[in-house]
C-alpha cells in the first residue's frame, strides 16, 4: 500500500479510519509520474493539489525542494547553497540529484508531479536519464496551453497560502474569507513577482526556453494539451480525461 511515510501508530485515533481508507484507496491507484508545463498563471498551482490527492502522488516544486535540501544540509543542499550564496544558478545536475533523492521518499511511492522542471530540453534529457537508471520514466506531460493576454489578469489577482502552496484569485477562485486560507484560516500573501512587469519577462523566458520542451515530449507521444483558459473545474475534467 502507498504510504505517506507515517506509521499508523503515529496517527491520532480520531483520524485512524480516515488514514486507513486513504491508504486503501491509494493502493488501487496506478503509479503516475507527471510533468506540468505552462506559463505563470496558467493554473498549474490550482490543479496540482487536486491531482496530488486524486492519484496519491507527491508534489515536487523545484524551488521548494532546493530550500528543503539547503535547510536539511544534505550534501546536495550544501552544494546548492554554495552556488546560491555566490549568486550563481544551481546546476542542472544538482537539481536532478535533488529530484532523484526526493522521488525515493515514501510519500512518492505512487509517483510524483514535477512542477517547474524541466525548463529546458537539456534538463528534460537529464531527468529522463536519471529516471531510466531507476527503471522508470515520465508517463504523461500536461501542457497548460493559454494565450498570453489572459495571464496578466490572472497573475495580478493571485493570492497564495505560503506553507501549503494553495492558490486563490480575487476574481476567479476567491477564498471564503478575503485574505484568509480556507483550510487553516492563516493569512494569504501576494508574491512579489506577481506583477505585469515581471510577468512579461517570465513569459519571454518561458517561450524561449520551455516551449521547446513541449516539442521534446511531443515526439515521445506523452503530451496532453489542456485548454488552460477554461474555468478550473473544466480544466480538472480535462486532466482526468488525460490521465484516465
Annotated catalytic residue: which of 23, 29, 105, 119? 119
CA distances 184 to 162, 164, 180, Å, are 11, 10, 8
Around Cβ 164, how many Cβ atoms within 10 Å? 12
For residues 219 and 164, what is the distance between their CA atoms, to the nearest angstrom?
34
**CA dihedral (142, 146, 150, 155) positive or negative:** positive
For residues 73 and 85, what is the distance between their CA atoms, to the nearest angstrom?
14
Annotated catalytic residue: which of 104, 191, 208, 220? 191
Q: At what angle are helices 121-134 and 211-219 packed, to 10 degrees?
A: 40
Is 67 catalytic? The answer is: no
Q: DSSP assignment, residue 82?
A: H
8 A C-beta contact, residue 203 and residue 151: yes
Annotated catalytic residue: which of 32, 79, 126, 158? 158
Annotated catalytic residue: which of 32, 33, 44, 166? 44
Is 191 catalytic? The answer is: yes
Is 202 catalytic? The answer is: yes
Query: Cβ neighbours of residue 164 under 8 Å, at least 6 residues apart?
Result: 49, 181, 183, 184
SS3 label, residue 104: coil
Annotated catalytic residue: which of 29, 67, 81, 202? 202
Short-list 228, 232, 227, 226, CA closest to 171: 232
Short-list 91, 154, 136, CA closest to 117: 91
Query: Cβ neighbours of residue 29 under 8 Å, at least 6 residues apart?
Result: 2, 55, 56, 110
Q: Could you list the active site residues?
A: 44, 119, 158, 191, 202
Amino acid at each position: 500500500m502507498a504510504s505517506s511515510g507515517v506509521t499508523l501508530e503515529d496517527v491520532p485515533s480520531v483520524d485512524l479510519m480516515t488514514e486507513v481508507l486513504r491508504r486503501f484507496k491509494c493502493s488501487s491507484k496506478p503509479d503516475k509520474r507527471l510533468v506540468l508545463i505552462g506559463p505563470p498563471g496558467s493554473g498549474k498551482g490550482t490543479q496540482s493539489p487536486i491531482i496530488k490527492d486524486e492519484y496519491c502522488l507527491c508534489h515536487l516544486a523545484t524551488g521548494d525542494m532546493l530550500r528543503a535540501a539547503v535547510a536539511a544540509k544534505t550534501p546536495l543542499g550544501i552544494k546548492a547553497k554554495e552556488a546560491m550564496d555566490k549568486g550563481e544558478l544551481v546546476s542542472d545536475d544538482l537539481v536532478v540529484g535533488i529530484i532523484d533523492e526526493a522521488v525515493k521518499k515514501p510519500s512518492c511511492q505512487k509517483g510524483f508531479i514535477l512542477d517547474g522542471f524541466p525548463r529546458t530540453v537539456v534538463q528534460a534529457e537529464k531527468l529522463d536519464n536519471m529516471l531510466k537508471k531507476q527503471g522508470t520514466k515520465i508517463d504523461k506531460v500536461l501542457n497548460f496551453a493559454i494565450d498570453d493576454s489572459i495571464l496578466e489578469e490572472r497573475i495580478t489577482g493571485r493570492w497564495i497560502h505560503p506553507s501549503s502552496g494553495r492558490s486563490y484569485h480575487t476574481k476567479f477562485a476567491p477564498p471564503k474569507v478575503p485574505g484568509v486560507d480556507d483550510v487553516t484560516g492563516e493569512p494569504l500573501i501576494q508574491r512579489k513577482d506577481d506583477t505585469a512587469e515581471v510577468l512579461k519577462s517570465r513569459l519571454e523566458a518561458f517561450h524561449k526556453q520551455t516551449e521547446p520542451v513541449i516539442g521534446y515530449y511531443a515526439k515521445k507521444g506523452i503530451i496532453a494539451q489542456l485548454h488552460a483558459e477554461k474555468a478550473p473545474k473544466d480544466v480538472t475534467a480535462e486532466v482526468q480525461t488525460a490521465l484516465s
